[in-house]
Structure 1
Amino acid sequence: MSLSTGICVRGWVSRTLTRRKLTYKLTEPGFSFTGHSLLISNGEEWSRKRRLLTPAFHFDILKNYVLTFNSSTNTMHNKWHHLVAGGTTNIEMFGHVTLMTLDSLLKCAFSYQSNCQESTSEYVSAIVELSDLVIDRRLRILHHWDWIYWRTEQGKRFKRALSVVHRFTRDIVQKRRALIDQQRETETLTSMTTAQERKKDFVDLILLSKDEGGQGLTDEEIQAEANTFMFAGHDTTASAICWTLYNLAHHPHYQEKCRQEVMELMQEQDGHEIQWEDLSNLPFTTMCIKESLRLHSPVQAVTRKYTQDVALPGDLIVPQGVICLVSLYGTHHNPEVWTNPHEFDPLRFEPTSAQSRSSHGFIPFSSGPRNCIGQKFAMAELRVVVALTLLRFRLTPGVDPEAGSGSGKVRRLPQLVLRAEGGLWLQLETVNESNLGEPAYK
């Protein structure tokens, strides 16, 4: 679900690497709004934060989020049905899906109903603007120096958007901590508190998390982790969803096989919501998602710095202090690892095929101890969104209106995550759901 956090070099995993700040510089304090979170921490600080945050991504917690994924997807699909009914069938995916993942994450992280898919939200607008400004800053070498950047119009816009995000997160964390403290004082007077009545969200869980010494994260640390959850989670997941739908639009036989799998599942349970238990009953759809993650990885590369000399085969030594760039794109398109690597072939993720593949040949969420802490969250959301979309819509390649007619294929655009030049356009056709009863999104 988040920016990849691990290391893989030709199949060898090394524990002697630290996160190199070259790639992540623009997400450090003063450059972005995440703060000093797990994403950019090292050493014992990273280990402690990872231990404290891991319970927030336990499968028992993820179960509670699946209904939220359904709800946010239903809102997006309702918009699509209105567009199709009005004659607009050629739709740019990234705009719609990014708002949907933001909507979903705000509910999961803060229990916050932003309605950002249907109306303007100051917080969501600020996040989108910050993402755009980070990309813009990376492309302007002089803007990498703070003393220049903060004097530019872009720097001033960045600070304004940053203050909106920080204020929003700070207010939620402070109010939630006060509520938890109040409930602790009165919990002996009642058998069921408000916190127990509602499902705990991400902020609740990390507020309640304690280390071995009984210490939790500070308010500032919690704000940093919540900001990272939003910033790193919405764009990467949106990219993965869009490229999966794109690949299925270009391979209608695989798309139809996925659709039949979803329809059979929904007919068996006589409903329109994907449940947690259903996720394991979508094997072919999951194979297609994984193949899309291989072919169009949301994160293209990671960098690391060696903390000691490391011996490689062939009497080669990587000396301490060297910066290593690991190309996730290169690994996923390496013909020594993957047969016909540029072809979309979900069958390569059949269980029997996976057994013969290097464990580090497929690393969309990175690998090793610093792999993506939110990958199960991301995969659950991916399966829910893709399954419900195929249940309700038939996808075919669309056309960028400004580019004119063509094959519908696009050029990759590596930014903070992998996007598409001119957007990613698909044609939507409503699928008849009459045999499944009344759809949940109406």
Structure 2
Amino acid sequence: MKKVTKLVGTYPRGFMVWMTPLVPIINLCHPDIAKSVLSASAAVALKDVFVYSFLKPWLGDGLLVSAGEKWSRHRRMLTPAFHFNILKPYVKIFNDSTNIMHAKWQRLISEGNIRLNLFEHVSLMTLDSLQKCVFSFDSNCQEKPSEYIATILELSALVSRRNQQPLLHMDLLYHLTPDGMRFRKACNIVHEFTDAVIRERRHTLPSQGLDDFLKDKAKSKTLDFIDVLLLTKDEDGKELSDEDIRAEADTFMFEGHDTTASGLSWILYNLARHPEYQERCRQEVQELLRDREPEEIEWDDLARLPFLTMCIKESLRLHPPVTAISRCCSQDIPLSDGRIIPKGVICIISIFGIHHNPSVWLDPEVLTILPPILLSGPRNCIGQTFAMSEMKVVLALTLLRFRVLPDDKEPRRKPELILRSEDGLWLRVEPLSVGTK
């Protein structure tokens, strides 16, 4: 325990320590210290079972929950699914889903509703996009109720609520509660949907042959996430099992919608509070799309929005969608200054704390648009290019068509599974006239 007490220090040094009856917990708030933990081998920095186990009945052994060799194998096998050749056609889907959301906004504004809950609208839009990218399925969930989409949202809320109630961390007790029973039922609904898609695709693949299948896909529609998972093989020529494919597809649906929706909502909030940055982003988009019909962001455009990209990254620093991750050390982890994080300690890596640490940032609470500091490491998000591409498309089209203004009531940050705002994130939205464009 002496090694634990030596870690106590001031916030800028990166440590805050507290104890539970069973195990010490360390909150890491500096990138150098966090890197030491995250760079350790999977056998040293295991994912903390108390946090991730709540998701396992839903997400199985997908990338978010798995660790060790299984995580490494799946990470290698899934990397081709995020190659730019696969992602490039998704930009069309992002445009279409954004257009549907904007049509809703125009209708609501015409009815006198200028205050919009951005979290609600953007979450449905990202779920709409993901269903098309993962399953090639159009539920029209932005316009009408969808049982599958409603179930995804319910599962996220149930896991978040359970995480905040320590007495319900015990599986035996939780499964007896109404929330526990709803959680099991919701998992079954999501799994049945994903299993049905996998079965249908498994049936299709052998009858066509892989080469013909890929050619047909290229002509008819986007190669979706399920297709790629079914076609991928490891270095020994082994495929993913149906259970593995379901786990990764369900993980992508969960991780891909909430995090992107949170990031987009807070970006619009920050630009509403900084109209000078908002206008500069808008001018950049207007110049890019000058005399272009229809108004649509293309793949090659994504690299031509440097100021908008900097605004996105700085907003992600101020309001990171995932505020913390955790690891449980199965061995001592040495730090560069000679101190040691002992075996058995749970490390909470505070992404929010790192992003607001005054020893790292000059003005940590101020939106400062400068070329971002790169802090990524060996376990960076596999879907980061997908997410960044979607955020650029949605933000560019939104600023082209609307002006966002702060609401009278300042939102209060609410960290759950992702960073939300209490009672939603409300902004005033004004359509731009044709002449303004």
Distance 1:115 1:319, change over 3 A: same
Which deviates the most, 142-151 or 71-80? 142-151
Contact 2:82 2:386 survives alignment (8 Å)? yes
CA contact (8 A) 1:8 1:326 kept: no
- Equivalent runs, 1:147-186 vs 2, <5 Å: 147-184=172-209
Which moved further from structure 2: 34-43 or 88-97? 34-43
Alpha-carbon distance in 2 for matches of 1:57, 1:87:
41
TM-score scaled to structure 2, two decimals?
Answer: 0.88
CA distance in 1, matches of 2:96, 2:155: 26
Residues 283 and 268 (structure 1 numbering): CA distance in 2 closer, same or farther, change over 3 Å? Answer: farther
* Corresponding position: 1:146 with 2:174: no
1:38 matched to 2:66? The reply is no
Displacement of 1:161 after TM fit? 1.4
**Structure 1 residues 12 and 98: alpha-carbon distance in aligned structure 2, compared to 1, 3 A threshold:** closer
Q: Which residue of 1 aligns with 2:17?
A: none
Describe how 1:36-435 pairs up with structure 2 within 5 A. Answer: 36-184=61-209, 187=212, 193=216, 197-267=220-290, 269-346=292-369, 348-349=370-371, 354=372, 357=373, 359-360=374-375, 367-399=376-408, 408-433=409-434
Pair 261,159 (structure 1): closer, same or farther in 2 beyond 3 Å:
same
1:46 Cα shift?
Answer: 1.1
Please tell me whether the aligned partners of residues 22 and 303 of structure 1 are also in contact (alpha carbons under 8 angstroms): no
Percent of aligned pairs sharing the same letter: 51
CA–CA separation in structure 1 for the residues paired with 2:218 and 2:238: 21
Matched residue type, 1:320: K
- Aligned: 1:28 with 2:53: no
Q: Distance in 2 between matches of 1:270 and 1:417?
A: 37
Q: Which residue of 2 aligns with 1:439?
A: none
Partner amino acid, structure 1, of 2:141? C
> In structure 2, what is the equivalent of residue 403 of structure 1?
none
Tell me if the contact between 2:217 and 2:223 (Cα under 8 Å) persists in the aligned partners: no
For the residues of structure 2 that align with 1:282 and 1:51, how far apart are their CA atoms?
30
- Cα distance in 2 between the residues matched to 1:95 and 1:192: 38
How many residue pairs get aligned? The number is 403
CA distance in 1, matches of 2:224, 2:179: 34
Aligned equivalents of 1:256, 1:182: Cα separation in 2: 54
Summarize the Cα distance change of 1:198–1:239 in structure 2 as closer, same or farther, 3 Å threshold: same
Shift of 1:185: 8.6
Match of 2:156, SS? helix
Alignment deviations for residues 38-91 of structure 1 (CA, whole Å, 9 cap, x no partner): 112122111110111000001111111101000000000000001111111011
Offset at 1:172?
0.3
Q: 2:363 & 2:162 partners in 1: Cα distance? A: 37
Cα 1:384–1:64 change in 2 (3 A) is same
Deviation of 1:192 (Å): 5.2
C-alpha distance in 1 between matches for 2:89 and 2:214: 22
Q: Which amino acid aligns with 2:157?
A: D
Distance 1:322 1:409, change over 3 A: same
Please report how far the alpha carbon of residue 434 of structure 1 lies from its aligned counterpart in structure 2 after TM superposition: 5.0
1:274–1:192 distance in 2 versus 1, CA, 3 Å: closer
Distance 1:149 1:322 in 2: 26
**For the residues of structure 2 that align with 1:312 and 1:37, how far apart are their CA atoms?**
30
Name the CA shift for 1:86/1:208 in 2 (closer, same or farther; >3 Å): same
Residues 150/318 of structure 1: CA separation in 2 closer, same or farther (3 Å cut) = closer
Q: For 1:249, give the aligned amino acid.
A: A
Partner of 2:265: helix, strand, or coil? helix
Q: Please report how far the alpha carbon of residue 424 of structure 1 lies from its aligned counterpart in structure 2 after TM superposition.
A: 0.6
Shift of 1:269: 3.9
Consecutive aligned runs of 4 or more in structure 1 exceeding 4 Å deviation? none
With 81-90 and 301-310 compared, the bigger mean Cα shift is at 301-310
Q: Can you give the 5+ residue segments of structure 1 that lack an aligned partner in the other structure?
A: 1-6, 361-366, 400-407, 437-442
Q: Which amino acid aligns with 2:121?
A: H
Q: Which amino acid aligns with 2:395?
A: V
CA contact (8 A) 2:35 2:377 kept: no
Structure 1 residues 8 and 234, CA, compared in 2 at 3 Å: closer, same or farther? same
Deviation, structure 1 residue 24: 1.5
CA distance in 2, matches of 1:53, 1:92: 34
Distance 1:129 1:284 in 2: 36
Output one character per residue of 1:251-309: Cα deviation in whole Å (capped at 9) or x when no partner. Answer: 00110000000111110544301001001111101111001100000111111123433
Greater mean deviation of Cα atoms: 145-154 or 123-132: 145-154
1: CA distance, partners of 2:217 / 2:310? 41
Work out the CA distance in 1 between the residues paired with 2:342 and 2:210: 56
Q: 1:70, 1:334 → 2: CA distance?
A: 36
CA contact under 8 A between 1:9 and 1:326: conserved in structure 2? no
Summarize deviations over 1:379-401 as a string: whole Å, max 9, x none. 000111111100000010124xx
CA RMSD of aligned residues (A): 2.0
